[in-house]
């Protein structure tokens, strides 16, 4: 059994951050150790607002120190980071990654560089974006930005697939071994589909799934994508197969969420699609 230390946000109600990532990874057979960067009543895109707090400085370090004291860090196969409550938490996460890799040199760091989207109501603390671009990027083994986050990481504007591929390869050139662009958006080849790009030193791959006509777009899809990609890789699937399985599982969740006319992702109802996804769409290798 593979183990994942998942450091990201937590919501009491609904699905975002660890609340979108932990159950799917466990359903895939991972032993997940969640650490919450914030604890909110609900995700931040509800019009009524939310309640809660970011975890204080030192909280992450103290928890991981406790894990070190019981000598389990050597059994950690991956660190997954997502939404941060403060830039200081980023420094703690890098210390955690260093400690985990010292205990298990084969461990990987999968960074989901959540930078926020103020227009949608997703806001990150000051300094987080700078931390991700200047400190997390040089350390990450794998990254899963969306298009806006990739633009920020590469300090460029992206209008099409070729430009997006070139930007992803800038990250590969800096030492990242795998880049998953979670939503191509305006850079997609087909704007009527939800397209994702996988960039690796061995080649680039494009995959798509349907777009569903939601009254309100569900939150947490990016967190789910990153978690499933990492879990599928740890389960032994090669990068392309993990990409295809992730796409199929996410599509099953979105389809069920749309069928129920729900705002929150229907992870429980669609849970069989995590362990046994029905892969209908195949990744296309780009020339």
Helix (H) or strand (E) holding 203: strand 203-210
List all residues 6 or more positions away from 1 whose beta carbon is below 8 Å from its beta carbon.
29, 30, 31
Count of C-beta atoms within a 10 Å radius of residue 236: 9
What's the structural domain count of the chain? 1
Cβ–Cβ contacts within 10 Å for residue 124, how many?
A: 20
In tens digits, what is the pLDDT along the chain, a chain of 287 residues? Answer: 999 999 999 999 999 999 999 999 999 999 999 999 999 999 988 999 999 999 999 999 999 999 999 999 999 999 999 999 999 999 999 999 999 999 999 999 999 999 976 555 566 777 899 999 999 999 999 999 999 999 999 999 999 999 999 999 999 999 999 999 999 999 999 999 999 999 999 999 999 999 999 999 999 999 999 999 999 999 999 999 999 999 999 999 999 999 999 999 999 999 999 999 999 999 999 99
**Residue 34 domain boundaries:** 3-286
If you count them, how many residues does the chain have?
A: 287
Answer yes or no: are the C-beta atoms of 256 and 218 closer than 8 Å. no
Report whether 65 belongs to an annotated binding site.
no
Q: What is the pLDDT of residue 125?
A: 76
For residue 223, say whether it is annotated as part of any ligand binding site.
yes
pLDDT given at position 124: 74
Element (H, E) at 52: strand 52-54
Judge whether 162 is annotated as a binding position.
Answer: no
Q: Is 16 annotated as a binding residue?
A: no
CATH number at residue 24: 3.40.1190.20
To the question of whether residue 45 is assigned a binding role by annotation, the answer is yes
Q: Quick check: 224 and 251 in contact, CB under 8 A?
A: no
Residue 249 marked as a ligand binder? no
Query: What are 118-122's contacts with CB under 8 Å, separation 24+?
Result: 120/45, 121/44, 121/45, 121/46, 122/44, 122/45, 122/219
pLDDT value for 216? 93
Q: In this structure, how many other beta carbons lie within 10 angstroms of the beta carbon of residue 213?
A: 6
């Amino acid at each position: 059994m593979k183990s994942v230390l998942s450091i990201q946000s937590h919501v009491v109600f609904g699905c975002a951050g660890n609340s979108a990532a932990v159950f799917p990874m466990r359903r895939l057979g991972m032993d997940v150790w969640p650490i919450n960067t914030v604890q909110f009543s609900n995700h931040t895109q509800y019009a009524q607002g939310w309640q809660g707090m970011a975890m204080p400085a030192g909280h992450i370090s103290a928890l991981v120190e406790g894990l070190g004291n019981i000598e389990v860090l050597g059994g950690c196969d991956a660190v997954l980071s997502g939404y941060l409550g403060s830039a200081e938490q980023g420094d703690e996460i890098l210390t955690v990654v260093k400690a985990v890799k010292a205990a298990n040199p084969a461990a990987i760091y999968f960074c989901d560089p959540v930078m926020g989207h103020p227009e949608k109501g997703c806001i990150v603390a000051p300094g987080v974006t700078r931390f991700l671009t200047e400190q997390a990027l040089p350390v990450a083994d794998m990254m899963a930005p969306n298009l806006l986050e990739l633009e920020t990481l590469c300090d460029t504007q992206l209008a099409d697939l070729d430009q997006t591929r070139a930007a992803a390869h800038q990250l590969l050139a800096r030492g990242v071994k795998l880049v998953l662009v979670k939503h191509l958006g305006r850079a997609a080849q087909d704007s009527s589909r939800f397209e994702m790009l996988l960039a690796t030193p061995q080649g680039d791959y494009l995959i798509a799934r349907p777009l569903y006509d939601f009254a309100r777009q569900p939150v947490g899809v990016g967190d789910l994508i990153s978690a499933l990609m990492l879990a599928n890789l740890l389960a032994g699937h090669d990068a392309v197969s993990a990409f295809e399985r992730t796409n199929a599982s996410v599509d099953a969740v979105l389809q069920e969420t749309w069928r129920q006319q729900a705002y929150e992702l229907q992870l429980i109802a669609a849970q069989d699609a995590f362990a046994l996804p029905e892969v209908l769409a195949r990744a296309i290798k780009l020339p």
